[in-house]
Structure 1
């Protein structure tokens, strides 16, 4: 009898539909894993439906997103591998710190509590959500130009526009507001147990040209884990932006993540 396949949960970030992980799930499926890519709470099954019903995504906090994925984990027979991008990366860090995952890969992961740099490009990328306080209870969409700035700056304008049309959806702005005050909030939901010695291994991946999560954020996040004896690795792809999981170079990132996990025994 063959051994059961290791489950892998792919977690999208703000403004990308979960089906944007499809090339990754196919790669991991062919490599012998059991991957799924569930969306955030309120996300419809398709990009088109999600754009038509932004109210279903509105108002969800970082905590409700974490709880959503935790319920999915609880339904599995074995702890999964988590792979997340942007705010999805922060979700994977949170759940790994809670010992709910066997291992995690966080790609251009959003800032967690205790990470102090605030690069100007990051602020500009978050501005579509933060510009209006009322947005904390709304789902906000990016314009084509905003997507180009925050996601597609390291690819051609033509490719950025195509990615925008294919994958961009409204995203709840509440996590952005929570992140903006997390370092002043003792009980912030973005607090991660970075000192946990018993958690599984963590790979942090950063894009050297990322504006939404600039390298300074990923490097400062890596330093937050220095007091843990658990494995934490950092990998930079110097020529990549925030679209690195979905653009023409996605396979390089995915295959590196896959090889890293295999080298760690998963």
Structure 2
């Protein structure tokens, strides 16, 4: 009897790892061995994260990638990665390093080489960029800012509930690194998009996403044009950045599972 394939869920900025719990339950039922380890410095609970933002501050992309690479080395087999937002970028980097058998990157943050920078994305990240000192700090969103960045495609009441349940401070450093990526020859936001020997990758886009607009995800897909490995795109036209945690999460999760089954994983 073979052991179930491990699945690592990787959260993005402003959400706690515990927000993946419904996905973990679903993937467990589907026969996988899922887990959702937090970023380096992440406390175990939302409440602790809000009370100790300094523990989250000043962790950059390379440090987060190294953290998850270390987690992967403890597993019995290479995992499937499912990442949201900056977690989607991290998943792509790890897949490009051949540390995973496949990856699903949901509304993934902008990688090096992606040029579109829609105004809504700038507005979503303004709470970080308005102060250069935030590069080394953890920054919290207000409920109103969360509504614009995450919950614009769902009722305001649901957005506020998700904010109260899952929102935590986020390190500013990854955003500053991503913003400078196309001017930095050694940017940590670079992904080995030309790797033809990697496992399959599914990019998912929310058509109403303010933080990672569809144009960014489509431009990310084009970055993989020199790779012969499977790279596909699925769009949820009416969904925003909250698509992994809001009332429609199951549609997204089921699409990820169906794609993995199609890849015989």
Cα distance between partner residues in 2 of 1:196 and 1:261: 20
1:73 matched residue in structure 2: 72
Write out per-residue CA displacement over residues 31-53 of structure 1, whole angstroms, 9 at most, x where no aligned residue: 00000001111111110010000
Q: What SS does structure 1 have at the residue aligned with 2:180? A: helix
2:33 matched residue in structure 1: 34
Shift of 1:59: 0.4
Shift of 1:17: 0.2
1:219 matched residue in structure 2: 218
Cα distance between partner residues in 2 of 1:8 and 1:128: 32
Q: Which runs of 5+ in 1 are unaligned?
A: none
Shift of 1:3: 1.2
Shift of 1:248: 0.1
Aligned residue runs from structure 1 range 171-210, under 5 A: 171-210=170-209
Structure 2 length as normaliser, TM-score? 0.99
Moved over 6 A (4+): none
Shift of 1:227: 1.0
Structure 1 length as normaliser, TM-score? 0.99
Shift of 1:210: 0.1
Count of residues in correspondence between the two structures: 265
Cα distance between partner residues in 2 of 1:77 and 1:156: 42
1:97 matched residue in structure 2: 96
Shift of 1:130: 1.1
Write out per-residue CA displacement over residues 129-170 of structure 1, whole angstroms, 9 at most, x where no aligned residue: 111011111000000000000000000000000000000000
Q: Which runs of 5+ in 2 are unaligned?
A: none
Cα distance between partner residues in 2 of 1:63 and 1:125: 23
Shift of 1:233: 0.4
2:229 matched residue in structure 1: 230
Cα distance between partner residues in 1 of 2:128 and 2:70: 27
Aligned residue runs from structure 1 range 1-266, under 5 A: 2-266=1-265
